[in-house]
Amino acid sequence: MSTNIHSLADVRSQNIGNGTRIWQFCVVFAEAQIGENCNICANVLIENDVVIGNNVTVKSGVQLWDGVRIEDNVFIGPNATFTNDLMPRSKVYPDQFLKTVIKAGASIGANATILPGVTVAEGAMVGAGAVVTRSVPPNAIVVGNPARITGYTNAKDSTGAKTQQQDVLRTPPYANSTSVNGVTVHKFPLIPDLRGSLTVGEFERHIPFSPKRYFMVFDVPSKETRGEHAHHACHQFLICVRGSCAVLADDGQSRTEITLDSPDKGIYLPPMTWGVQYKYSEDAVLLVFASHHYDGKDYIRNYTDFINITKEKSVTK
């Protein structure tokens, strides 16, 4: 297998992998690196300090400037715009251009703009026309200007109509399983009264552990995400006591999204569950019970590390 370079392309680099196709009117600088089985469509420019992985598609009208890193299996839509200098001036060059990284399996929609120095993490999806001003978390879907998270890829809604219909016939407290290992959604008794409503749950009965710590999250701008970590040992239970928010739970293989929108509803996150909270309403107050005292060493804050640890654990079982 060899490369296929169109006769009307200006390709100076020798660092191009087998099976890669480069179409007409492309310009590839001498030091650029392109992996195997890539498809570089017409009218693409690739500068010297650019590294492209394997199985990457770059559609027409894209310019990849010095400092851009594209990992394996990335899709870049037509006319997506990359930048490498926050304060550009004509004939004024920085000592080093900012690095922009598109991680493995991510997709960039048509006409999206990626500001310099950001990372679009693994599996993320940038919508067409989005303006990405800061790094995008793993598997997040972002749209708009500035780009904001609207969802997560492959996240199953565990509060569908079928489950809700079944729950009408059940008397709280009860719990529903989800597609994510060990994650359960709980419904507690709600007692309305002229004097005010009451909801109650018991630890080690309705909530499957005894807490040693709690914290509350509130006054969160709706564009912000919270959480974005897992724990080695700590169990968590989340209740949105006011307003609403969405909780993403991920065990490394399956992913689900739950909306917390009433004080008699909660979600249990066991150890080794990647959790993200977002879509906060303006009045949202999220109450979190934790089974352990705070220990920074118990946190897994990098999604790639989390995936690697879950794979190691599955092998040793």
Residue 147: CB atoms within 10 Å: 26
230 φψ region: left (φ > 0), alpha (ψ -120 to 50), beta (else): beta
Which amino acid is it at 6? H
pLDDT above 90 (res 302): yes
pLDDT above 80 (res 162): no
Grade residue 154 by pLDDT with cuts at 50, 70 and 90. Answer: confident
Grade residue 161 by pLDDT with cuts at 50, 70 and 90. Answer: very low
Distance separating alpha carbons of residues 137 and 267, to the nearest angstrom: 22
Structure tokens at 89: 């001036």
DSSP the chain: ---EE-TT-EE--SEE-TT-EE-TT-EE-TT-EE-TT-EE-SS-EE-SS-EE-SS-EE-TT-EE-TTEEE-TT-EE-TT-EE---SS-BTTB--SSPPPEEE-TT-EE-TT-EE-TT-EE-TT-EEPTT-EE-S-B-TTEEEETTTTEEEEETT-EESS-HHHHHHHHT--SSEEEE-SSTT-EEEE--EE--TT--EE---BTTTBSS--SEEEEEES--TT--EEEEEESS--EEEEEEES-EEEEEE-SS-EEEEEE-STTEEEEE-SS-EEEEE---TT-EEEEEESS---GGGEE--HHHHHHHHHHHHHH-
Report helix, strand or coil for 307.
Answer: helix
Report helix, strand or coil for 165.
Answer: helix
Catalytic residues: 229
pLDDT digits (tens, 9 = 90+) for 51-98: 999 999 999 999 999 999 999 999 999 999 999 999 999 999 898 999
Report helix, strand or coil for 314.
Answer: helix
H or E stretch at 312: helix 303-316
Contacts of 46 (CB under 8 A, 6+ apart): 13, 26, 27, 28, 29, 32, 34, 40, 52, 63, 64
pLDDT digits (tens, 9 = 90+) for 11-51: 999 999 999 999 999 999 999 999 999 999 999 999 999 99
Asked whether the domain spanning 156-316 has the same topology as the one spanning 1-153, the reply is no
User: What does the pLDDT average to over 101-105?
Assistant: 98
pLDDT above 90 (res 160): no
Q: What is the pLDDT of residue 146?
A: 93
pLDDT above 90 (res 316): no
Q: What is the pLDDT of residue 278?
A: 93
> Hey, which CATH number is domain 1-153, 2.160.10.10, 3.40.50.920, 3.10.129.10, 3.20.20.140?
2.160.10.10
Q: What is the pLDDT of residue 101?
A: 98
Could you tell me where the DSSP H helices lie in 105-195?
161-168
pLDDT above 80 (res 165): no
Are the CB atoms for 253 and 273 separated by under 8 Å?
no
Out of 57-71, 109-123, 188-202, 291-305, least confident range:
188-202
> What residue segments make up the domains of the chain, in order of their start?
1-153, 156-316
Task: Write down the CATH superfamily of domain 156-316.
Answer: Jelly Rolls (2.60.120.10)
38 φψ region: left (φ > 0), alpha (ψ -120 to 50), beta (else): beta
Q: What is the pLDDT of residue 164?
A: 54
- Rounded to two decimals, the pTM is 0.84
